[in-house]
Amino acid sequence: MAVREGWRGRFFEDFEVGDVYRHPLGRTVITTDNVWFTLLTQNTAPIHFDHHYAAQTEFGKPLVDSTFTFALVTGQSVTDVSQNVMANLGWDEVRLPNPVFEGDTIYSQSEVLEKRESGSRNNVGIVTVKTTGYNQEGKVVITFKRTIMVYKRATPQRSPGSLPRKNERSGTQRSPRATLRFGVLATLGEREEEAGEDEQRRGEHHQPRRVSPAHTPPCLRPCRTARCVSAPRSHRASSGRPPRRPSSRRDRR
């Protein structure tokens, strides 16, 4: 059985100015999306989550939080535009020409406006795209320009779901490139060293402290535990077990 590699996204060499990518997935926005996203971002505008209030506005129903629309359309473009992104450099000229309501289905597409070599890194290039989001009726609901730093095809890559190579399983030092791809600044070697130091510290923390009897602080009240050094000698059991406790109130007296 042949194992075929799945879609890995576009690299810098795959972008051509003027190309338009119609992103494959649409998304129907429901009430839960709108309410949860609004409250998670601490947005207190009632027009997004108070249906009674929204019914009295000129729209007659809740508006979808515009930052949710912005995040959704950006996410839809990732598979075609920024699957192999190294860094997201920014958004420009964000426009919201029409509102989005609960129940609308959002689609999107991106057009390549510009591409150029990076002046500081030879393994990446810089691409600028214009992304447009529209609803089921074809009305444009959002447009923005986005600039990203994308890896070149020659850069060593490893998909997130792939198995580690043999030298990686044996503990051989790995390149910091694999770490930077997923947004981690520390190299894998540094992470392994830190993990080893943490484990060592945890081991030291859990080791029992050995205190000599001479330095053991006296108990605040007479101790009847056989192994306690401050207990009266008569209460220490030679077998190491504590003496039998009185069984009745009368014996305790």
Confidence grade of residue 179 (pLDDT, cut at 50, 70, 90): very low
pTM for the whole thing? 0.61
Residue 241 pLDDT exceeds 80: no
* Two structure tokens written together for 62: 């809740």
* Two structure tokens written together for 157: 């890559």
Residue 22 pLDDT exceeds 50: yes
Please provide the size of the chain in residues.
253
Phi, psi for residue 142 in degrees, rounded to 5:
-160, 145
- Looking at domain 12-151, its CATH architecture is Roll (3.10)
Which conformational region is residue 93 in: left (phi greater than 0), alpha (psi within -120 to 50 degrees), or beta? left
CB 143 within 8 A of CB 133: yes
Bigger pLDDT: 50 vs 219: 50
Residue 176 pLDDT exceeds 50: no
* Two structure tokens written together for 172: 């051989």
**Average pLDDT taken over every residue of the chain:** 78
* Two structure tokens written together for 193: 């060293």
Domain boundaries, the chain: 12-151
Residue 68 pLDDT exceeds 80: yes
- What 3-state class would DSSP assign to 206? helix
